Amino acid sequence: MTQAPARRRPLVGEILGRSDYAIIGDIIEPGTRVLDLGCGEGELLEWLAQNQGVEGHGVEIQPARVQRAIARGVSAYQGDIEESLEHYPDQAFDYVIASQTLQEMQRPLKVLREMLRVGRFGVVAFPNFGHWRVRWAHLVSGRAPRTVLFPHEWYDSPNIHFLTIDDFRSLAANQNWTIERGYYLAGQRAVRWRENLLAEVAVFLVRR
C-alpha cells in the first residue's frame, strides 16, 4: 500500500497497523462513485481515486479547504452539507461518507435520510459519547464532559448533537435501516464487546 497522507479529520485513526485509509478501502468497493460530506482538503477522495479507482465528489464549506481540494484534483463543491444534498437525484452515488461531521449538523436525521436517498450506502463515522471516559468525566465533574475525544468547552464546541453507538443503532432500527457492518475502535485497538462503553469511535456501513 502506498503511504497515505495525513488527513485533517481522520475517519478512525490507526488500528491494528491499518490506517484510516485501509479501513475505508475495506469498506469502499473499487471503481465506485463516492460522495464525501465535509471532504476537507480532499485527501481521502484523492486517496480513493488513486488506490481504488473511485470517482470522488466532495462537499466542503470552508473556501480555503475547497481550494486545496480542487488544487489536488478533487471535484469539491463549496457548500453547506445540509443544503447541498437536495440537488442530487436518488441513488446518484454508491457511497456517501459522513466522517466526523454528523455531530456538527443542525439536523443530523435529515442529513442521514438524504445520504441514504442519494447513496446506496452510507458510511458514517462519529465519536462515541457513550464511551466510559465521557461518562466518568460527566459523573465526577458534574460539568459538560471534556475528554481527549471531546476537547472543547461547551461554548466553542463544533459538536452540537451528541450521540452514542447505541443511539445510532436504535435510530437505524427505528428507521428500518440496515447496518451492514460496524467498526468499533478505541485508540489503536478494535473493540469486540461492550462497544457502547469501550469504543471511542464507530464507523457504520448503512443502507436503507
Partner 1 sequence: MVVETQLARFDSIALDCGATLAPVEVAYETYGELNHDRSNAILIVHAFSGDAHAAGVSKETGKPGWWDDMIGPGKGFDTGKYFLICSNVLGGCRGTTGPASIDPAAGRPYAMSFPVITIGDMVRLQNRLVEHLGISRLLSVAGGSMGGMQALEWSVSYPEKVASVVVIGSTARHTAMQIAFNEVGRQAIMADPDWNGGDYHGGRGPARGLAVARMVGHITYMSDESMRQKFGRRLREKDVLGFDFSVDFEVESYLRYRGSQFVDRFDANSYLYITKAEDYFDLTGGFPSLAASLERSRARFLVISFTSDWLYPSYQSLEIVNALRSLVRDVAYCALPSEYGHDAFLVEVGEQSEIVRGFLASAVRAAARPAGAPGATSRAALQERRG
Binding to partner 1, residues 139-198 (CB under 8 A): none
Q: Which of these ranges, 17-25, 82-90, 130-138, 196-204, lies near partner 1 under the rule CB under 8 A?
A: 82-90
Contacts (Cβ under 8 Å, ≥6 apart) of 113? 175
76 binds partner 1 (CB under 8 A): yes
Distance CA 23, CA 15 (A): 9
89 binds partner 1 (CB under 8 A): yes
Contact 111, 191 (CB under 8 A): no
* Minimum CB–partner distance for residue 9 and partner 1 (Å): 19
5 binds partner 1 (CB under 8 A): no
31 binds partner 1 (CB under 8 A): yes
Distance CA 12, CA 194 (A): 18
For 155, the 3-state DSSP assignment is coil
What secondary structure does DSSP assign to 161-196, as a single string?
A: S---HHHHHHHHHHTT-EEEEEEEEETTEE--S-HH
If the CB atoms of residues 38 and 130 are measured against partner 1, the closer one turns out to be: 38
* Minimum CB–partner distance for residue 92 and partner 1 (Å): 4
Binding mask 111-140 for partner 1 (x = CB under 8 A): ---------x--------------------
Distance CA 139, CA 142 (A): 6
* Minimum CB–partner distance for residue 119 and partner 1 (Å): 9
If the CB atoms of residues 9 and 33 are measured against partner 1, the closer one turns out to be: 33
Q: At what angle do helices 43-52 and 20-27 cross, to 10 degrees?
A: 60
Distance CA 175, CA 164 (A): 16
Q: Which of these ranges, 15-23, 80-88, 141-149, 185-193, lies near partner 1 under the rule CB under 8 A?
A: 80-88
Interface with partner 1 (CB under 8 A):
29-33, 55, 57, 63, 66-79, 84, 87-89, 91-94, 120
